[in-house]
Amino acid sequence: MDSCRIPANASKCSGNTMECFMVLSTQAQKISIGILCGLFGTMCVFENSLVLYLIFSSPGIRKKPSYLFIGSLALADILASIIFVCSFVNFHVFNEAGFSKEVFLLQLGGVNTSFSASLSSLLLTALDRYISISRPSEYKLLMTRKRAWTALAVLWVTCATIAGLPLLGWNCCTLDSSCSELFPFVDDNYLSGWICFVVVLLGCIVCAYAHVLWRARQHVAYMEQHQAQAGKQNSRMRMDVMLAKTLAMVLAVLMLCWSPVLVLMIYSIFSRLSDRLRKVFAFCSTLCLLNSMVNPIIYALRSKELFSSLRRVLSHFRRQLKAPEESPEAESTHKSSVIET
């Protein structure tokens, strides 16, 4: 295994640098992390898979650019959950460190790509809502399916490129530079750059949502003043206001789940982390999974179109379950059993 500089506060480690980052010292801590990752990861994959199915099984929904962005968010959360849970549990719970630097950086790149794509999808969704609510008459001309797919392609390529830089050579082993205290082989300068990228994404999302909610508030005031002239336009406004509130809830959950991780990452760049703080970081990392798990729940509760699609799927499923019971063969079997009795 490549040798590179180990964390400054990990002087007790020697030989295998990977062991310096295995911060969970007790069985209870490992079991807790395993349960959290298993629960959040399983629920996240199930819920986001359901969202993808509801979107792409409904022709009316999948044609709308806004739901293409939500589908991208769901896909990113699924990939993040699978890669994060497998690599995180394997490393921190089972203490597997027999893989190479390249394999570890590939796993880390997969996690970073997925989480970055998740944030970027939220940004595209926010921008889509802003255009819809501020320029409703021009929305269909400005936001076409072709432009939506192009934006998604640029999004995923950009996120994959940034996340793959350590694997391509921007790591502390290749550069013989200062390593991060939180991630093996990761250069402190790269971590600083990735944090800036995420903070910029979050800042753009906040600005977009601020404009969306400001416009939504204007629409609410307009509806109250012109309720007598209500009609199709007011119905459209109510839909935009509802979706704006939904996205605001998503943003609030996003900030609550990501803030502890980002704060500890920033703190690790400017100061040494104690073993206790590194353990706190390990547990806070599972909050990113919680965010991915909560997003689909918000969509199911707040999006009328997705909720209606879910009801149709459940109704169809119930009819399929009742069909065998109501079939002629089932009735004849039931009658014969009664006669024999």
The CATH number for 298's domain is: 1.20.1070.10
- Residue 333 within a domain: no
Q: Is residue 202 part of a domain?
A: yes
Q: Is residue 328 part of a domain?
A: no
- Tell me which of 54-63, 133-142, 214-223, 276-285 is least confident: 214-223
Residue 130 has what pLDDT? 85
More confident residue, 341 or 311: 311
Rounded distance between C-alpha atoms, residue 289 and residue 183, angstroms: 18
Give the range with max mean pLDDT: 11-20, 28-37, 94-103, 218-227: 28-37
* Cβ(198)–Cβ(119) below 8 Å: yes
Distance in angstroms (rounded) separating the CA atoms of residues 203 and 210: 10
Whole-Å CA distances, 41 to 108, 114, 182, 268, 291? 17, 14, 22, 27, 11
In a domain, 20, yes or no: no
Tell me if residue 64 falls in helix, strand or coil. Answer: coil
What is the average pLDDT across 203-224? Answer: 76
In a domain, 336, yes or no: no
Contact 163, 109 (CB under 8 A): yes
Task: With respect to residue 340, please indicate whether it lies within any of the assigned structural domains.
Answer: no
pLDDT digits (tens, 9 = 90+) for 116-146: 999 899 899 888 888 888 888 888 888 899 9
Task: Indicate whether 235 belongs to any domain.
Answer: yes
- Identity of the highest mean pLDDT range in 59-63, 113-117, 213-217, 305-309: 113-117
Torsion, Cα of 280, 286, 291, 297 (10° steps): -130
For residue range 297-336, list pLDDT tens digits in order: 876 667 778 888 888 888 877 888 776 655 555 445 444 4
Output the CA–CA distances (angstroms, integers) from residue 161 to 81, 117, 170, 314, in the order listed: 20, 11, 12, 40
Higher pLDDT, 106 or 301: 106
Q: Are 19 and 97 in contact (CB under 8 A)?
A: yes
Query: What is the number of structural domains in the chain?
Result: 1
The average pLDDT across 12-37 equals: 76
- Give the residue with greater pLDDT, 156 vs 2: 156
- Determine the structural domain holding residue 179 and report its residue range: 25-308
Mean pLDDT value of segment 260-282: 89
Q: Considering the domain boundaries, does residue 278 fall inside one?
A: yes
pLDDT for res 319 = 83
pTM: 0.82
pLDDT of residue 64: 87
Q: Is the pLDDT of residue 55 over 80?
A: yes
218-263 pLDDT, tens per residue?
A: 766 666 666 655 555 555 555 556 666 666 777 788 788 889 999 9
